[in-house]
Amino acid sequence: MKIVDFMVDSQINLTGDVLELTLEGDTSAITAPGQFVNVKLDGFFLRRPISVCDWTENTLRIIYKVVGKGTDAMVDLQSGDLLELLTGLGNGYNLEKSGDAPLLLGGGVGVPPLYGLAKRLRAQGKDVTAVLGFNTQKEVFYEKQFAALGVKTIVTTVDGSYGEKGFVTTPMERLDYSYFYTCGPMPMLRAVNAAAKTAGQFSFEERMGCGFGACMGCTCQTKNGAKRICKEGPVLEREEIQW
C-alpha cells in the first residue's frame, strides 16, 4: 500500500454514467490486475474504492460509474487537478493458473479490471476470450479496446439490443476454456459459479470503510475461514468460496 498524489491527465465519458479517468503518478505499488485504489475526495470522509483498469510505470487508468455524491463529484475533475490515492490495495488475479485459453467474464463496471488482466494474459501469448455483459446497448463500453488486444470479444445484453441476447453465462456452455476469471455483481457471480466447467477466480464488490483491512467491515466467511474482501480479496478462488 502506498499513498500517492496523482495528477489528472484526462477524463472521457464512455456511456451516460460511466467515465474513464487517466491519472499520472507513481504506480509502483500496483503489482497485479484486479487490485484497486482508494480515492480521497474533498468534502468526503470515506475514500472511494475503484478498481484499476490498466496501468503503466507512471500512468493509471480507472473507470467508474456515477452512483452517488462521491462519484458525482469526480465528474468535475479537470486536467491538472490533483488527487490523493491509496494504491496497491487488495489481492489481484493470479495469472499463473490461467492455462492456454482463459475465459474472462465481466458485468457492467466489473469489466474494467478484466481489461488489465486481458492485456497481461495476451502478453504471455494466451488465447483469451472475454464475455462482456450489459443490460442494454446504451451501457456497452470497452468492446473495441478488448478486441484491439487480440481478445475474442463477445458482448451480451439482457434486452438483446446489442450483441447476444442474455447474460454473460449465455455463451459459456458452447465455449471451451482452460480457466476463468470474473468480476461483477453478486447475482452474476453466483450464476457464473453454477455454469462454470473449470476452476476460476472471482472478484467481489463489497462496501468498504478503510480499504486496507483495519476496520474489518468487509469480512466474509470462506471455507478457509474469515477473509477481508479489501485485503485477502477482492479476488478469491472458486474452491474457497461459500455461496
**Per-residue pLDDT at 207:** 65
Name the residue among 75, 36, 80 with its Cα closest to residue 54. Answer: 36
Residues of the chain with pLDDT below 70 are: 206-209
**Per-residue pLDDT at 209:** 67
Name the grid cell of 11.
Answer: 477524463
Type of residue at 91 = N
The model carries a pTM of 0.95
